Amino acid sequence: MNDFFISALPIIKSIEKAGFEAYFVGGSVRDYILGRDIHDVDIATSATPVELKKIFAHTVDVGIEHGTIMVLYKNQSFEVTTYRSESEYKDHRRPESVTFIRSLYEDLQRRDFTMNAIAMDGNGNIVDPFHGRLALKANMIKTVGEADDRFREDALRLMRAIRFVSQLGFHLDNETEAAISKHANLLEYIAVERISAEMQKLLGGKYKEKALLIALNTKLYQFFPSLCNQEHILSEVLSLPINQLNETDMWLLFLYLTESDEPTDLMKKWKFPAKKIQFLNRALNELSIRKCQEWSVYDLYRAGEHIAITVEKLYQTLNGKSGEYVEQNLVARFNELPITSREHIVISGNDVLEWTGKSGGPWMKELFIHLEKAILTKEIANEKEEIRRWIITCLLP
């Protein structure tokens, strides 16, 4: 049994000792069966939050209205959720109310996909009333019960379905894919932040091409921020060798193909954080330069290693090539630069003012740009005395 399960066993055993049921559920059980890495575990129980608080001395209410509390044990935290059933969904996202129940079967019945409706007890025994293991064996994503009902209840499941395709490489069963196509418009009810979070995971998946093809064929992409009526963009993305690209590379590709005069506005539609917007805007600018010329030492220096690699990978992808060899070459060239940031220059602005007797001003910025280029092209060495002589010579009337 995985270490995460072992560390959580005292929680399971304490709940059982108090006379209640407790099981590992959800993604951790699915990934355990698949032999994938597990990063945390979720526990479901027949005990109510009030009963759990009597069992454990240290708890935190993290979603108690939905039956979830955090149990703190030996410097670790474990989410424990009471079995529950749900009423009608009011907005295709959240149920009107939840009811705490004592039945594991009914709790698993409300879940999204059969592969996520598998439970495991503390001894490793599997409870699988909806044949999730058969779906896993067939590499298939299938809803629990009627697909129409599951997507009407929670429209974020539309995104989760294709995100799992990207991460696992599975296919959708016919009913599930047909229901996505039928209910794609329900994605309009979901907060952009939630869609964006799922899209990030999708674009970072190993099988992103497969997932994006489903988004295209089902028309789900029509309800993505900034991609409505942009079928040609998605088709062009799918015509390229995108498997070598990571999530950030993929966003850069979408932005580049959109050819928007206001890429920042597009990124804001996806609710990107400011730091990500800044990075992608810089990368777009460097990509426009890379399209016109090879990397000079100053281009590499100005871009920085991360942006330069991102841009080069995308440039190679747009030309239908793998960027692996070129990327390695680029890293080697970057590592050979005399300096990789302005902070590496051995002098400061104060040194310049002292040597020249001048007051600060815009000329200082221009001087340092010329100085960077001189060091990068090895016109001069990054040594204080040599730089002093170079500056005095440059500023002679």
- Tell me the per-residue pLDDT of 55-72, one tens digit each, with 9 for 90 and over: 999 999 988 888 999 999
Distance CA 87, CA 80 (A): 21
Q: In terms of C-beta distances under 8 Å and separation of at least 24 residues, what long-range contacts does 125-134 make, across chains too? A: 126/29, 126/33, 127/23, 129/105, 132/30, 133/33
**Was 154 annotated as part of a binding site?**
yes
CA 136 – CA 164 distance, rounded (Å) = 12
Q: How confident is the model at residue 172 (pLDDT cuts 50, 70, 90)?
A: very high
Helix, coil or strand: residue 126: strand
Does the pLDDT of residue 224 top 70, yes or no? yes
CA dihedral 54, 56, 59, 65 (to 10 degrees): -40
pLDDT tens readout for residues 363-390: 999 999 999 999 999 999 999 999 999 9
Summarised one tens digit per residue, pLDDT across range 326-351 is 778 889 999 999 999 999 999 999 99
Taking CA atoms, 220 is separated from 113, 158, 217, 324, in Å, by: 19, 8, 8, 32
The H or E element that residue 170 is part of is none
71-85: pLDDT as tens digits:
999 899 999 999 998
Per-residue pLDDT tens over the stretch 9-27? 999 999 999 999 999 999 9
Instruction: Confirm whether residue 31 is marked as ligand binding.
Output: no
| Residue 324 pLDDT grade (very low, low, confident, very high; cuts 50, 70, 90) | low
Whether residue 80 contacts residue 50, with contact meaning beta carbons closer than 8 Å, is answered with: no
Q: Residue 394 — pLDDT band, cuts 50, 70, 90? A: confident
Q: What does the alpha-carbon distance between residue 125 and residue 33 come to, in Å, rounded to a whole number?
A: 12
pLDDT at 87 (0 to 100):
66
Q: What is the mean pLDDT of residues 188-214?
A: 97
The reply to whether 282 sits in an annotated binding site is no
Dihedral of the alpha carbons of 177, 182, 186, 192, in degrees to the nearest 10 = 40
45 CB-near residues (< 8 Å, 6+ apart) = 15, 20, 21, 22, 23, 52, 80, 81, 82, 83
- Helix boundaries (H) for the chain: 3-17, 27-34, 49-55, 104-109, 132-137, 147-153, 156-168, 174-183, 192-203, 208-217, 231-238, 247-258, 263-269, 274-290, 297-303, 305-318, 324-335, 349-356, 362-376, 384-394
Residue 331 near residue 305 (C-beta atoms within 8 A): yes
Q: Is 84 annotated as a binding residue?
A: no
CB contact at 8 A, 201 and 207: no
**Any idea what DSSP says for residue 40?**
-
- The pair phi, psi for residue 96, each rounded to 5°, is -60, -40
Model confidence band, residue 39 (pLDDT cutoffs 50, 70, 90): confident
Average pLDDT, the chain: 93
Count Cβ atoms within 10 A of the Cβ of residue 245 and give its class: 0-12 exposed, 13-18 middle, 19 or more buried: buried
What is the torsion angle, in degrees rounded to the nearest 10, for the CA atoms of residue 322, residue 327, residue 330 and residue 335? Answer: -170
Q: Is 37 annotated for ligand binding?
A: no
Domains of the chain: 1-138 (3.30.460.10), 343-394 (1.10.246.80)
Q: Contact at 8 Å (CB) between 10 and 57?
A: no
User: Which whole number is the average pLDDT over 101-106?
Assistant: 96
What does the pLDDT read at residue 93?
66
* pLDDT at residue 1 is higher than 80: no
H or E stretch at 378 = none
pTM for the whole structure: 0.89
| pLDDT score at 386 | 96
Say if residue 115's pLDDT is above 80: yes
Annotated binding residue 27: yes
Dump pLDDT digits (tens) for 244-299.
Answer: 899 999 999 999 999 888 999 999 999 999 999 999 999 999 999 999 999 999 99
- 279 backbone dihedrals φ, ψ, rounded to 5°: -60, -50
> How does residue 360 score in pLDDT terms, banded at 50, 70 and 90?
confident
CA distances from 54 to 5, 44, 340 (A): 23, 17, 58
Question: Residue with structure tokens 């539609």?
Answer: 269
Query: Is 265 annotated in some ligand binding site?
Result: no
Instruction: Provide the pLDDT for residue 274.
Output: 97
- What pLDDT score does 397 carry? 59
